[in-house]
Amino acid sequence: MKPSKIRDLSLPELETERGRLEQQIFKLRFQNAVGQLDNPLKLRMVRRDLARVRTILNEKLRAQTSAQAAEG
């Protein structure tokens, strides 16, 4: 997933996407352990997408908290 698409998501959507990616990583790791994973690079791509989502989520949360601190 492109970072520009991730940045367009709202905070609840980012949380949902993070949960979905974490579940997908769990399934892929299980398939890899059993030896049923067709494309091992898929695991790497999903892990990177999760890292992107987490990074952008943290950026948005920091921006939100700094804006609230500036108001009050």
Per-residue pLDDT of the chain (72 residues; tens, 9 = 90+): 888 999 999 999 999 999 999 999 999 999 999 999 999 999 999 999 999 999 999 999 999 988 888 887
Q: Taking a C-beta distance cutoff of 8 angstroms, is the pair 25, 14 a contact?
A: no
**What is the CATH classification number for the domain harbouring 60?**
1.10.287.310
Q: Taking a C-beta distance cutoff of 8 angstroms, is the pair 5, 49 a contact?
A: no
**33 to each of 26, 41, 43, how far by Cα in Å?**
11, 14, 12
Q: Please give the pLDDT value at position 53.
A: 97
Q: Total structural domains in the chain?
A: 1
